Amino acid sequence: MPDGATSNSKRVEPRDRVVIRFAGDSGDGMQVTGTQFTTESALAGNDLATLPDFPAEIRAPAGTLAGVSAFQLNFASDEVFTPGDDLDVLVAMNPAALKVNVGDLKPGGILIVDREGFNEQNLKKAEYDRNPLGDGSLDRYQLFQADVTKLTSAALKDLGLSARAVFRCRNFFCLGMTSWLYHRPIGPSESWLSDKFKKTPELVEANIRALRAGYNFAENSELFAVSYEIRPATIAPGKYRNITGNAATALGFVAAARKAGRPIFLGSYPITPASDILHELSGLKQFDVYTFQAEDEIAGIGAALGAAFGGAIAITTTSGPGMNLKAETMGLALAVELPLIITDIQRAGPSTGMPTTTEQADLLMAMYGRHGEAPVPILAAATPADCFAMAFEAVRIAVRYMTPVILLTDGYLANGAEPWLIPDPASLPDIPVQLRTDPNGFFPYLRDQVTLSRPWVVPGTPALEHRIGGLEKEYLTGNVSYAPMNHEQMIRVRARKIAGIVRDIPPTEVLGPETGDLLVLGWGSTFGAITQAVRELGAAGHRVAQAHLRYLNPLPPDLGSILRRYRTVLVPEMNLGQLVRLIRAEYLVDAVGFNKIQGRPFKVSEIVSRCLRLLNGTTLEESVTEEHP
């Protein structure tokens, strides 16, 4: 049985890191293939990061450019911060997948195609005039043409499956080939298949046969002369699992609610790319998780606020368009001063935009997108696994300060995955929750002297009956008040309360020299690309450091002094320059923006070259597009 060992007859070459992308039609099972290759790589001890890229259409017409679905994985024998810039390997199941993805393949890179997928019909759908496999246009790559469809059929011929069922096993043939090529163990995929199709044993058999056939084909055929070995990475010891940002967000909420000793209520309306948090939490009811699929975005946050009134850890999840709809209820939540977490999985806007692609353009909306003086704390996760920590932190701040909190992630974090060092639940801090029951000296808006938060009193508590609402409150009693000075006092105390959260913000971590020529300041999902870029620049002898913000409102108290320690500050963002505006306004620092708004994350190389130009004296704002017209 294949177990990752290779035959002696072929050459083995070492590699430090490999970026591979599986691409095919959206019905070809590329997400499954990529996910399984990821699991195999994690079990092989590599560090890794992944990124799926699927079309917005559920099933665009088969074989068309719009229907291409892909999954990218970067795995290495040292630290991995991003899913990788350019590809070392591209697996293309049909001409459309080739056309959409081949531009990202490095010259000399490995290109594996299913030869039979390049028939006249599919070539036409992919708008190829000639078959690229035969016209020399792919000469700069190592092209491997395998008869995947025919070989899969041959391996399954005595199982009596329909042609369609056989066709759908092709992805596991490809997984088998690539697993051999990079010495991945296929045992985990076999176990996964046995579990996944346990109700249909013939599909277990078929897919495992396809997987092994692909593996054996790669090993025994003349096609591949070389295989590659990627040694295990040096990673902090402990137990790991691979986790997506959305799964980590859900787990962070559950952990926080347990540590607070309160039930969770999630009010949410399905929206890409946030829905997976709803899916995840709806399966965790044993943790006192109440999930409510609302009739719309407004009801999602409204119901959550109602549950917060009742004493639950209240959460709503959405993406950009839903944020617009939730704005009014956020204002109410901050007026009635109840804890509530609003999670925005940012996607490319405006309007419906490009729903399955990523962007960071909701920061200023999170900051200012409510009428009136309506400050809300804003947190942002930096990596998929960091979503766990920031979801946990969002709950802690919401409860401690009796305030709505906005948690920003994005499509790249939500669907991307990385290994997560599984925490010991006992090591997570408790989140103290005090529901007030003492009527002595009670006023609904009596504030804690340190945090300025008001007491959390839930209906059902005897002798503390009171009314809350969106009308302005009298400072102490919470009764309706239109008194001019009271209004100013309330506006100021709410602002002071949120500003006071700085006392909870840990020192900002600066990676690289303490002073220098350039600080790259980022927030959110740009962390990986910035980290890798700053490392490369540091290794080349440049005095470049990195700081990454996870607290965006209030900003960390030490940020101003950090910014002044560097000659230049560069702020790469997947927007037209939102954090850079806040930084310039707040600190009067002449920070420089670097912007990419393509629905795709920054490449490491883009940040490196931008930094180099800055270090060489160019300080004009630039966008990636201007670099690559």
Partner 1 sequence: MSVPGASDQKPSKKDFVSDQDVRWCPGCGDYAILSQVQKVLPELGIARERFAFISGIGCSSRFPYYVNTYGFHSIHGRAPAIATGLKATRPELSVWIVTGDGDALSIGGNHLIHILRRNLDVNILLFNNKIYGLTKGQYSPTSEVGKVTKSTPIGSIDHPFDPIALALGAEASFVARSVDVETKHLQDIVRRAHHHKGTSFVEILQNCNVFNDGAFADVTEKTTKADATLVLEHGKPLIFGKNRDKGIRLRNFQPEVVALGEGISESDLLVHDERNPALAYLIARLGPPHFPTPIGVFTAVDRPCYEDGLNAQVIAARARQQPDLATLFNRGDTWVVR
State which of positions 289-308 bind partner 1 (CB under 8 A). Answer: 289-290, 292, 294-296, 298-300, 302-308
Choose which of 133, 314, 413, 547 interacts with partner 1 (CB under 8 A).
314
Q: How far apart are CA 479 and CA 329, in angstroms?
A: 20
Minimum distance of partner 1 from residue 318's CB (angstroms): 14
Which listed range, 324-332, 529-537, 600-608, 613-621, lies at the site for partner 1 (CB under 8 A)? 324-332
Selected range binding partner 1 among 66-74, 89-97, 261-269, 609-617, rule: CB under 8 A: 261-269
Residue of the chain from 7, 286, 434, 449 that contacts partner 1 (CB under 8 A): 286
242 binds partner 1 (CB under 8 A): yes
Tell me the sheet residues that pair with 417: 50, 244
Tokens coding 40: 């195999």
**Residues 332-351, mask of contacts with partner 1 (x by CB under 8 A):** x---x---------------
Residue 528 C-beta: closest distance to partner 1, Å: 20
CB of 196 to partner 1, least distance (A): 12
Eight-state DSSP code of residue 114:
E
Contacts of 460 (CB under 8 A, 6+ apart): none
- In the region spanning residues 362 to 391, those forming contacts with partner 1, defined by CB under 8 A, are none
Asked whether the beta carbons of 594 and 382 are under 8 A apart, the reply is no
Residue span 387-416 as binding mask against partner 1, x where in contact by CB under 8 A, dash where not: ------------------------------
Q: Kindly identify the residues of this chain, within the stretch 442-501, that bind partner 1 according to CB under 8 A.
A: 458-471, 479-480
Does 267 help bind partner 1 (rule: CB under 8 A)?
A: yes
Q: Which residues pair with 356 in a beta bridge?
A: none
Q: Which is nearer to partner 1, 336 or 518 (CB)?
A: 336
Instruction: For residue 526, state whether it binds partner 1 (rule: CB under 8 A).
Output: no
Q: What is the largest CA-CA distance in the chain?
A: 88
Sign of the Cα torsion 459, 465, 471, 477 reads negative
> HSE of 167 in the Cβ direction (CA atoms, 13 Å)?
11
The count of chain residues that interact with partner 1, using the rule CB under 8 A, is 72
Length of the chain: 629
Q: Tell me: does residue 288 bind partner 1 (CB under 8 A).
A: yes
Closest contact distance (angstroms) between CB of 513 and partner 1 is: 30
Q: Which is nearer to partner 1, 423 or 538 (CB)?
A: 423
Stretch that binds partner 1, among 220-228, 285-293, 379-387, 390-398 (CB under 8 A): 285-293
**Number of neighbours of residue 592 by Cβ within 10 angstroms:** 22
When binding is defined by CB under 8 A, the residue of 4, 6, 15, 45 that contacts partner 1 is 45
The string of DSSP letters for 388-439 reads: HHHHHHHHHHHHHHTSEEEEEEEHHHHH-EEEEEPPPGGGSPP----B----
Residue number with CB closer to partner 1 (301 or 583):
301
Specify the stretch interacting with partner 1 by CB under 8 A; choose among 78-86, 105-113, 326-334, 512-520: 326-334
User: Interface with partner 1 includes 310 (CB under 8 A)?
Assistant: yes
Member of 128, 215, 224, 309 binding partner 1 (CB under 8 A) = 309
Distance CA 551, CA 545 (A): 19
Fill in the amino acid letter for 300.
G
Question: In the complex with partner 1, which residue's Cβ is closer, 251 or 559?
Answer: 251
Amino acid letter, residue 414: A
Q: Which is nearer to partner 1, 124 or 285 (CB)?
A: 285
Only one residue has tokens 């719009």, namely 66
- Min separation Cβ 138 and partner 1, Å: 35
User: Least distance (Å) from partner 1 to the CB of residue 287?
Assistant: 5
Q: Please return the burial class of 306, using the count of CB atoms within 10 Å of its CB with bins 0-12, 13-18 and 19+.
A: middle
Compute how many other C-beta atoms are within 10 angstroms of the C-beta atom of residue 196: 14
Task: Give me the least distance between CB of 33 and partner 1, in Å please.
Answer: 15
Task: Output the smallest distance, CB 285 to partner 1, in A.
Answer: 4
Looking at beta carbons only, is 51 or 254 nearer to partner 1?
254
Minimum Å gap between C-beta 120 and partner 1 is 41
> Which residues, at least 6 apart from 410, have a Cβ–Cβ distance to it below 8 Å?
345, 346, 347, 358, 359, 360, 524, 525, 574
- CB-based contacts of 130, cutoff 8 Å, min separation 6: 123
Provide CB contacts within 8 A for 449, sequence distance 6+. Answer: none
Enter the DSSP assignment of 372.
S
Q: Which of 107, 225, 424, 507 binds partner 1 (CB under 8 A)?
A: 424
Within 95-134, the residues that bind partner 1 by CB under 8 A are none
10 Å CB burial of residue 540 (0-12, 13-18, 19+) is exposed
